[in-house]
Amino acid sequence: MTEPVSEKARKTLREIGLTEYETRAYMYLLRTGATTASRISGNANVPYSKIYEVLNSLERKGWIETRSGRPRRYYPKSPIEALDATRLRIENKMKDWRNSVVEELQPLYEKREIREKPDVWILRGEYDAVAKIKDLVSNAKNHLMIALPAFTEPFMFSLLPLFKSLLDTNVKVSIMVPKDRNENMKVLENIGEVRLKDNMFGGGLIADGREAILILGEKKTSLTIWSDHLGLVKFAKDYFQHLWDSAEKAQQ
C-alpha cells in the first residue's frame, strides 16, 4: 500500500499542470524508483489503456525519464529538477503568448483608445497630493511635463529630492515656472529644460501622456485631480504644450 499524499500537494501539482493520473503515477515513482508501466498502472490506479499516454505526457513535461530495455522502465526526476523544467516551459509559453496575442491585440486596444474604468480621483489636502505626485513621478518612463505656478511653492519644496532623483534616469523633463521664480525653483533648472510662464491658472504633472495630475488653487494647494482618462490626459498635455510653446526659455 502506498503512503498517503496530502491533498495540498496533489492540488499544487494540478495547479502546476499535472492531471490526476499524472499525479498518481509520479507519486508512485517517487516512492518506488524505476519501474515498468504495468506496475505503475496497477499500483497507482491508472487505467492500463491510459498509462502510456500518461507517462509520455509526464516525460514531455519534464517530470520523469525512461530507460530503454524490455520492458521499458520509468523513473522520476527530483521535484526540484521537475519544477525548474516546468518553470522554463511556462516562461517559453509566456513568450509565445506575448508574440501571438499581445503584440497583435495591444495596437487595437491603443488605436481605439479602449479603457476599462478610467479613473478620476479628487485629492484634498497636501499629504494625499504629495503622495500621488511621488507615485506619478516614480512611474514615469519617457517624458515628464511639470507646470509649477507660484501657488504650488509651499509644497513643491518637499518634492525637490524626488525631482532631483530624475537626474539618474533617462526621463525627459520639461518644467514651467513663473518668471519671478525663487531660489528653490531655480534648482529645477538642473533637472530638465525650464521655461518661464506667468499667468498659469493651474499647475500639474503629466507622465508619458498616460496619466496626469492637475493642481488647482491660488495661494495654496486646495484641490488636486489625478486621472488616467485618455481624453482628460490628452487635454492636459495639449494645454501644457500650448503654454510651453509660448513660454520664455530660462537663462542658464
CATH of the domain at 87: 1.10.10.10
pLDDT in tens, 53-77: 999 999 999 999 998 888 999 999 9
Distance of alpha carbon 165 from alpha carbon 11, whole angstroms: 46
> Is residue 110 domain-shared with residue 129, that is, in the same domain?
no
> Is residue 97 domain-shared with residue 182, that is, in the same domain?
no
pLDDT of residue 136: 93
Q: Which residue has the cell 494540478?
A: 14
pLDDT of residue 230: 86
Residue 221 pLDDT > 50:
no
Nearest to 224 by CA among 166, 172, 156: 156
Specify the higher pLDDT residue, 145 or 115. 145
Model confidence band, residue 83 (pLDDT cutoffs 50, 70, 90)? very high
> Is residue 244 domain-shared with residue 146, that is, in the same domain?
yes
Specify the higher pLDDT residue, 55 or 109. 55
- Per-residue pLDDT averaged across 24-36, rounded? 93
Model confidence band, residue 4 (pLDDT cutoffs 50, 70, 90)? low
pLDDT of residue 76: 95
Contacts of 222 (CB under 8 A, 6+ apart): 124, 216
Domain final residue, candidates 114, 139, 169: 114
> Is residue 87 domain-shared with residue 203, that is, in the same domain?
no
Residue 1 pLDDT > 50:
no
Domain final residue, candidates 114, 145, 163: 114
How many other C-beta atoms can be found within 10 angstroms of the C-beta atom of residue 164? Answer: 13
> Is residue 88 domain-shared with residue 130, that is, in the same domain?
no
> Is residue 56 domain-shared with residue 132, that is, in the same domain?
no
pLDDT of residue 46: 95
> Is residue 19 domain-shared with residue 126, that is, in the same domain?
no
Specify the higher pLDDT residue, 172 or 201. 172
Nearest to 54 by CA among 42, 68, 37: 37
**With pLDDT > 90 as the criterion, what percentage of the chain qualifies?**
40
- With b for 16 or more beta-carbon neighbours within 10 A and e for fewer, the 217-243 pattern comes to beeebeebbbbbbeebbeebbeebeee
- Name the residue range of residue 91's domain: 1-114
Domain final residue, candidates 59, 84, 114: 114
What SS3 class is residue 208? coil
Model confidence band, residue 112 (pLDDT cutoffs 50, 70, 90)? low
> Is residue 124 domain-shared with residue 245, that is, in the same domain?
yes
The total domain count for the chain is 2
pLDDT of residue 199: 79
- Per-residue pLDDT averaged across 84-99, rounded? 87
> Is residue 74 domain-shared with residue 140, that is, in the same domain?
no
> Is residue 100 domain-shared with residue 142, that is, in the same domain?
no
pLDDT in tens, 148-196: 887 777 777 778 888 888 888 899 999 998 887 666 667 777 888 989 9
pLDDT of residue 164: 86
pLDDT of residue 161: 85
pLDDT of residue 48: 94
> Is residue 125 domain-shared with residue 109, that is, in the same domain?
no
> Is residue 131 domain-shared with residue 220, that is, in the same domain?
yes
Residue 123 pLDDT > 50:
yes
The CATH number covering residue 171 comes to 3.30.870.10
Model confidence band, residue 207 (pLDDT cutoffs 50, 70, 90)? very high
